[in-house]
Homo-oligomer: A and B are copies of this chain.
Amino acid sequence: MFDEVIEVINSCSTFLITSHARPDGDALGSELAIYHVLRGMGKDAVVYNQDKTPAVYEFLPGSKNIIHSLDSVNRFDAVFVLDCSDIERVGDEKDKIGSIKKIVNIDHHASVGTFSEILLVDSTASSTGEIIHRLLKNMGITITEDIATNIYTAIMTDTGSFRYSNTGIDTFRVAADLVEKGADSKYIAQNIYETKPVVQIRLMGKALDTLEFYEGGRVSSIYVTQEILRKEGALPEHTEGFVDIVRSIEGVEIAIFYYEASKNQFKISLRSKGTVDVEKIAGRLGGGGHVKASACRVEGDIKTVKGKVLGAIRTGCNAL
């Protein structure tokens, strides 16, 4: 597995590095780790993402060099497609990127992409970052502070700060090694988790005023309407993570967050903490996602929308 990837690294000199659209911490940390490794070897490397780097990740070493438009890809000998089980997820430039001769796919998702012959995939790894750490150890690469910071961020964000079930023994061992190599766990956590805009906290308070329970407390919801958003001077991105507050409540099996994206147009996030498959519920309303996390869009005022979603839960969910 490693040999093929190492062979590509050694034999090529100009690399494109990319990941899925709307990149998260694992995508960005993995991309920038590979970027620093290749640059350290004197190679030419460029990181491309369709979407802008979220403000919270701007501290990542190298993030300022990420590009967001792609002309010709002729000059690239190889491309790293990271944390991405399907080339479609790269976004609009998927065809250009798919045309690059050598494609290396490093990923930890269960479903393996078929778009690449050179695969480094391990669904038992916490994150793509953890697999990259393994690759670097295998290559005998010296892990610099910049590399360590990026990989640590990838692992920390994808494990929800070492809380999710993907956190294994190796995850902690790798974290120890990265801290030893200069990753500042506190600085990274502070950048990710402790830079919430004031308006987001105020909005959270308002959203909590809408907290409701159904089915004996097994279903719970909060909502944010356009009116609330306007009153607080908040932006859509300030609602990030709100569904997780509902999820954190004792006894809640299905957590719902209703967000009014525009007048009477609601985007609904669903989370399952128990055995309920929320993908099925979202599916009934024309949405989709995973068993534990799904989303859908429903039209109407908040009362109507609630009725529709709760109806879908009551009829489409054997577990309740």
A194:B247 contact, CB within 8 angstroms: yes
B162:A196 contact, CB within 8 angstroms: no
Known: A163-B161, A195-B250, A196-B249. A179 touches B169 (CB 8 A): yes
Q: Which of A110-118, A137-145, A201-209 makes up part of the contact surface? A: A201-209
| A208 nearest CB neighbor, chain B only | B205
- List B contacts of A198 (CB < 8 A): 211, 213, 217, 249-251
Q: For the complex formed, measure the closest distance between the CB of A215 and the CB atoms of chain B, giving whole angstroms.
A: 14
- List B contacts of A248 (CB < 8 A): 193-196, 201
| A166 nearest CB neighbor, chain B only | B186
Cβ of A136 within 8 Å of any chain B Cβ, yes or no, is no
Cβ of A214 within 8 Å of any chain B Cβ, yes or no, is no
29 contacts between A and B (CB under 8 A): A160-B189, A161-B163, A162-B185, A163-B185, A163-B190, A163-B193, A164-B186, A165-B186, A168-B179, A169-B176, A169-B180, A172-B175, A172-B176, A172-B179, A176-B176, A194-B248, A194-B249, A194-B273, A196-B249, A198-B213, A201-B208, A201-B211, A201-B248, A202-B208, A204-B208, A205-B205, A205-B208, A205-B209, A208-B208
Cβ of A173 within 8 Å of any chain B Cβ, yes or no, is yes
Cβ of A50 within 8 Å of any chain B Cβ, yes or no, is no
A residues apposed to B, CB below 8 Å: 156, 160-165, 167-170, 172-173, 175-176, 179-180, 185-186, 189-190, 193-198, 201-202, 204-205, 208-209, 211, 213, 217, 245, 247-251, 273
Which listed residue (B162, B164, B193) contacts A175, Cβ 8 A? B162
- List B contacts of A209 (CB < 8 A): 205
- List B contacts of A186 (CB < 8 A): 163-165, 167
A175 to B190, CA, bound (A): 21
| A56 nearest CB neighbor, chain B only | B250
- List B contacts of A165 (CB < 8 A): 186
B202:A211 contact, CB within 8 angstroms: yes
Q: For the complex formed, measure the closest distance between the CB of A170 and the CB atoms of chain B, giving whole angstroms.
A: 8
- List B contacts of A245 (CB < 8 A): 201
A48 to B160, CA, bound (A): 34
A208 to B245, CA, bound (A): 14
Most-contacted residue by chain B among A163, A165, A197, A217 (CB, 10 A): A163
- List B contacts of A205 (CB < 8 A): 205, 208-209, 211
Q: For the complex formed, measure the closest distance between the CB of A292 and the CB atoms of chain B, giving whole angstroms.
A: 9
- List B contacts of A163 (CB < 8 A): 161, 185-186, 189-190, 193
